[in-house]
Amino acid sequence: MSKNLLIVESPAKVKTISKFLGKDFDVLATYGHVIDLPKSTLGIDVEKDFDIKYITVRGKGDVLAKLKSKAKVSDNIYLATDPDREGETISWHIKNALKLKDSSKNYSRITFNEISKNAVLNAIKNPRDIDINLVNSQQARRAIDRIVGYKISPLLWEKIKGKLSAGRVQSVALKLICDREKEINEFIPIEYWTLEVLLKYDNKDITAQFYGDVNNKISLENEKQVDEIINKIKKDDFFVKDIKKSKREKKAPLPFTTSTLQQEAGKSLNFPIAKTMRIAQSLYEGIELKGRGTTSLITYLRTDSTRISDEAKAIAKDYIRDNYGSNYVLENENLKVDKNNNKIQDAHEAIRPTYINILPSDIKESLSRDEYRLYNLIWKRFIASRMSNAVYDTAKVTIEANGYIFTANASKISFDGFMSVYTDADDKTASQNVLPDFNIGDKIEFKKFNKEQHFTQPPAHFTESSLVKVLEENGIGRPSTYAPTVNTLLHRRYVTKEKKNLFVTELGIAVNDIMNKAFPNIVDEKFTANMEKELDEVANGQMGWKEVLREFYPEFEEEVNKAYDKLEKVKIKEEVSEEKCDNCGANLVVKYGPFGKFLACPNFPECRFTKPYIERTGFICPTCGKNEIIKLRTKKGRIFYACEDKDCEFKAWQIPKDAKEVSIDKEKAI
């Protein structure tokens, strides 16, 4: 019988860790939380100083029984749940459920940021006690989120309709999306113009942009102003007024944190943040590799830190020196200042490969396509973060004609540094244009002017990536909350997603209006960010967890009671289509189901007619030339395009570039 029991959260880790520890250890999983708040009731006694009622999670009785059975025959018990507040709390619950006594010291709390043999063995050699401050921080967060959700959600059911919810982070995220939508709708475009001049020097064409006159920068507001400038200089000589050459460095990127991984995977791989977290979790827990067995490929995926261990730095340095050369090794750290000074998150490392020598290309056939793409992104980003900055040679030439100034810029990479491995989704392709060898005073041949009208654009709709960035910048929520927050907004139909953009629905607007009227603190970004700071203070032992609740609850309870009395019921207008019901002739309305939109009769339940919702594109089918292309989804949710005539064979992943638009009367193609 084994003398040691090691308890982890995920069953996927069991096989990986068992391989390291051998026969002297039993490794068992809790399958997440075993003890938690009851679902059917609040579970928090607000009359008795917020005492929390914990119960065994439904369906986890057998798991707990097995843990108890193994614990009785084990001399040493290691609580190895995840290295965060949630994991600390799970270990605390397990300790209490197994009745492990501090006095007996037959249990230890251990953590590791990577699932490697060295990391696990070192953790066992360096056990610690459960950090009750981290537990209390999680208890405070859980209690507040439970109170907000369980007190406000019934109000929404009464005032709007059932199956709605509110949440501390969720409601702030919804407000951000609604505020952005309002900005877009109220935006008034402003006209402006650009003016370029095409010149020639030494048989090379040069394009220069209008800047202003010799005294000031000038904004071009209308065509008349542009034409006046052209008329003043079209017969004048263009000559070189000034030349500035310099070098510019582009810093190597920092390794990924949870939020920056979510953002970059969204931009470069088109991954929703929930998908990014799901795949990262599997890479962390272990993948079956040929010749290696089950192997953890990345370090712990929930972290705010960009810190890297000295061991990982040394291995990366050797790899870069051997494969790229000593001049590619990072000399000075590109440090990021943590404005929130989050000590608990900094206990973790950044997200990096567990084993640098496992190249993405070496294990591609052992990974799914998406696992490979995410691992490749993480591996390249980490290696790049340990490499030298890229260096550009830049040149700026100032050109004058009759007192007006134009500028031409060029740059080229003189040393690629980290860019030999990695460029992020926001990197523009480096200009490799080289300006001619000008001298000050050189005359340049004029060829033509190009003038163009523009209008200022409204702010862009939020994407999942840009929403995460704003939440992080404002200190709202934590890395582990972003994916479930966005998922809830989509699931509740408060927002919809078209391509990458998030659009608020009528339902979302109604919920946000109620939250703004009745609970201004809950949806206030500063209030929510301050709450996160207080939770950090609890984690650092600077504040009691019930103190946070005592400050929060009285005013919140008063707001809830007022809302029930003063808020009126809200009627949500359903989106009415032009399609008619086959049974009663009523205009069908748009409804939402588990698989997206569908059309239904508004006279339900008397009439139960439904039909699929067809999203039209406004383009004529290129195969039959008569019917419209419609947008459909595969069973896995991938969008494709087909002819609305089921007998037509046209199907494609993209609308053809040469597709003709449907005419206004929909009878002729333009």
Residue 36 φ then ψ, to 5°: -160, 180
Is 300 marked active-site? yes
| C-alpha to C-alpha distance for 36 and 564, rounded to whole angstroms | 29
CA 319 to chain centre: 30
| C-alpha to C-alpha distance for 563 and 494, rounded to whole angstroms | 20
- DSSP string over 230-252: HHHHTTS-EEEEEEEEEEEEEPP
**Helices 464-473 & 168-186 angle (0-180, nearest 10):** 110
| C-alpha to C-alpha distance for 271 and 263, rounded to whole angstroms | 9
CA nearest 385: which of 322, 329, 305?
Answer: 329
Of residues 201, 284, 300, 641, which has the active-site annotation? 300
Tokens describing residue 259 = 């939020």
| C-alpha to C-alpha distance for 81 and 90, rounded to whole angstroms | 7
CA nearest 85: which of 120, 60, 111?
Answer: 111
Q: Which residues contact 669 (CB under 8 A, 6 or more apart)?
A: 620, 625, 660, 661, 662, 663
CA nearest 384: which of 423, 430, 354?
Answer: 423
| Composition of the chain by helix, strand, coil, percent to 5 | 35, 25, 40
Identity of the residue numbered 583: N
- Active-site residue numbers? 300
